[in-house]
Amino acid sequence: MTYARLFSSILLVVHVTLNGQIAVAKVGDSFEVESEFPIIEHIVTVADRVPTEVMDIKASVATLDSEALSTVGHEHIQQSLNRLAGVNFQRGSGQEYLPAIRSPVFTGPGGCGGLLVKEDGISLRAAGFCNLNELFEAHTEVASQIEVLKGAGTSVHGSNALHGVINVITPDRAAMNTATLERMKSGSNRLKFTANSGGKSPVVIAGTFAGYKGHRTDSGYDQQKVSVRHFYERPKYSVETGITLSNLNQETAGYITGLEVYKDESVALSNPNPEAFRDAKAARVWSRFTFGSDKSELSVKPYVRYTEMEFLQHFLPGTPLEENGQKSLGLQIYTSGNLSDIVEFYLGVDAEFTKAYLKQTQFAETTGSAFLQATIPTGKHYDYTVNAGQIAPFFQIRKDLTDTISVALGSRYEEMKYDYQNRMLSGRTRDDGTPCGFGGCRYSRPASGINSYHNNSVDLNVSYTVNDSFLLYFRLADSFRAPQGTEIYRLQRGQETADLASEESSSVELGIKGRLSSTAYNLSIYSMDKNNIIFRDSNYFNVSGGSSSHRGAEIDFVHSLSNYLSVSLSGTYAIHQYTNDPYDPDGNNMNLISIIDNDIDTAPRWFGGARLLFSPTTKINVEFEWTRVGKYYLDPENLHSYDGHSLVNVRGSYDILPALQLFVRVKNLTNQKYATRADYTSFSGLRYFPGIPRQIALGLEARW
């Protein structure tokens, strides 16, 4: 019995990287024999920037291909990404979300910057100016593929690649011509299309135009996205160019408060913040120039990026308006080659310059206690600009020690520099310089200045490969993220400067990947420790000093039971815990409850799902999906919790004509009353984003 067969027999409980695109055969069949339905390879660039088959990557990488994305037909990215083990996004209002990959769900101050999010290899935001909701700017609805690297990034990734990397690939030269019209029972409509000119230098244009009514009062949105890619090839070089434009106009619904109030339909459909909104625009333009030979390749990729957003901060007293934006110019240079027949090298440098601004203005008088009214005045709270520069050289070296064992080493050095200009009076006064009562205003503005951060990371892995069907790897990696601009310059109360260090993590991972003619699996076990976590302490100061541990196992598995029936599973068990008392690092406040070894809030230990795909004929496909989110705590003290929930979704399609398909999607088939997000604060108590009730979508898709 080969090693591949032995491990595939033992690991009948493991995560899918091929999303159901596998051959149909019996488990006992030899994998050396070609099947009538061969396995489809999945080529990704998220790990090394060069096209690499998933099975050859010595890290945990999962993909959602065009077929999986078409089956789900998500109107919110959470519906697709949560099909992958280790990924647990919580859906917010409209297009908003809170992310998690091998982590607790990121929330509140210090939550931004734990993930690196890209489209076509370009970060959606500059490293120091992330936004928790930035993925709504990527054209995921028509993507040819979404790639997810779970855990610390490799040497080609820099700041923010602490817990994972997401790369959205817009429709490429292999895209079909498609047009999709969809209508939901709620009255929402969506049009999607992809047009491919074909030929030697194809132009691919894709668009999404959505009008979503929203299941809660005043919670709809209108969104438009357009992507363009052009391909030009010559014998010695090629040029590829991409453009993405997006616009979002959203009415936002806030939390509802009270114990399990999401079970009360009249409250769950209400919106206590009908005045809230979010408007966002984004544009990215890039070109990749590739020069290659049999022994080496050089890639030069310049890009420009623009974002602009304003939203009402309905979750803050006084509901101030935030306006922010960034303009970036960047360059990625990357070269690869062979030093010998068994040694490969990769060298590169990333450079970027960003001009950013942020304003916060309150127009209405603050309501509530006398303290809030006195310390949160109308007028401008913040008004500043930041010129930021980033430069990062990196390398990777790979060597085959034997025919089956290889080792790879990578490293990255990164420098981030912020030149901050305060355009208001420094300190915690009103915008006209008059003082606030009770010791001063809530919002504090540091004086203009310069902050620099220097970081480096190392990535080492060893792999054992029997053949194309089995890979065992061991990985040691560390990662970092520089403090974000809002953490350094958006201060509160008596804090005049924020002396913050970069967050750092170190991790170890053991993984097994395998595939037979009818089965594919991916099992990974990891351990990560984070230090210098940035948070807001009991004095409302932005400080470093938090630490946490992250341990988990992820299982993805897909198996074809017959020519017309296949099953896939994704499962995650993870423990995310505090390893110090960040709110009281010196142990001086005896009134605080120790949180050491407590579960981090919003970090379920169990979550995952199972899917059954039934294809009785070549014209009919039906998918039954069950998803589960386990219990999680809502506060660091672990005094309040949410019990979790299970949902059932059904999706089906029927080919009316060879080029015309009718589809129907039913989300939350059993009309479960649940919360997409549960939370607890000392000010509001228990609060929730109520889940979407049963939702039915019907549509037509033409392909040619």
Task: Report pLDDT digits (tens) over 292-346.
Answer: 877 789 999 999 999 999 999 999 999 999 999 999 999 999 999 888 777 899 9
pLDDT of residue 27: 29
Contact 228, 204 (CB under 8 A): yes
CA angle, corner 153, sides to 333 and 68, nearest 5? Answer: 100
Mean pLDDT of 446-472: 94
535 beta partners: 543
Measured in degrees and rounded to the nearest 5, phi and psi for residue 647 equal -130, 150
Q: How far is CA 566 from the centre of its chain?
A: 28
Q: What CA–CA distance (Å, rounded) separates 505 from 162?
A: 7
pLDDT at 4 over 60: no
Mean pLDDT of 115-125: 97
Q: What CA–CA distance (Å, rounded) separates 32 from 42?
A: 19
Which of 256-260, 371-375, 582-586 has the lowest average pLDDT?
582-586
Q: What CA–CA distance (Å, rounded) separates 393 from 331?
A: 12
pLDDT of residue 38: 43
pLDDT of residue 666: 97
pLDDT of residue 9: 34
Contact 558, 595 (CB under 8 A): no
**Residue 520 or 17, more confident:** 520
Helix (H) or strand (E) holding 687: strand 685-690
pLDDT of residue 30: 31
Strands (E) in 14-96, as ranges, are 43-44, 52-53, 60-65, 90-91
Residue 493 is classified by DSSP as T
Q: What CA–CA distance (Å, rounded) separates 230 from 453?
A: 37
Residue spans of the domains in the chain: they are: 3-703
Contact 641, 648 (CB under 8 A): no
Three-class SS state of 602: coil
pLDDT of residue 2: 36
Contact 142, 123 (CB under 8 A): no
Ramachandran region of residue 670, left (φ > 0), alpha (ψ -120 to 50) or beta? alpha
Give percent of the chain above pLDDT 70: 92
- Residue type at 254 in one-letter notation: G
Which of 18-32, 175-189, 584-598 has the lowest average pLDDT?
18-32
pLDDT at 19 over 60: no
Task: Report pLDDT digits (tens) over 601-647.
Answer: 999 999 999 999 999 999 999 999 999 999 999 999 999 999 999 99
> Which of 353, 343, 346, 347 has its CA nearest to residue 303?
353
pLDDT of residue 32: 34
CA angle, corner 49, sides to 45 and 55, nearest 5? Answer: 45
Helix (H) or strand (E) holding 67: helix 66-72
pLDDT of residue 408: 95
Secondary structure (H, E, C), 225-252:
EEEEEEEEECCCEEEEEEEEEEEEEEEC
Alpha-carbon distances, residue 265 vs 274, 319, 407, 648, 676 (angstroms): 18, 26, 57, 19, 15
**Residue 456 or 585, more confident:** 456
Report the mean per-residue pLDDT for the chain. 91
Residue 589 — very low, low, confident or very high, per pLDDT cuts 50/70/90?
A: low
- Residue type at 343 in one-letter notation: V
pLDDT of residue 679: 96
pLDDT of residue 40: 54
Mean pLDDT of 476-494: 95
Q: What CA–CA distance (Å, rounded) separates 564 from 192?
A: 29
Homologous superfamily assigned to 3-703: TonB-dependent receptor, beta-barrel domain (2.40.170.20)
pLDDT of residue 20: 33
Residue 226 — very low, low, confident or very high, per pLDDT cuts 50/70/90?
A: very high
> Which of 388, 386, 364, 384 has its CA nearest to residue 376?
364
Mean pLDDT of 493-509: 95
pLDDT of residue 499: 93
pLDDT at 550 over 70: yes
pLDDT of residue 515: 87
pLDDT of residue 26: 30
pLDDT of residue 8: 37
Mean pLDDT of 143-164: 96
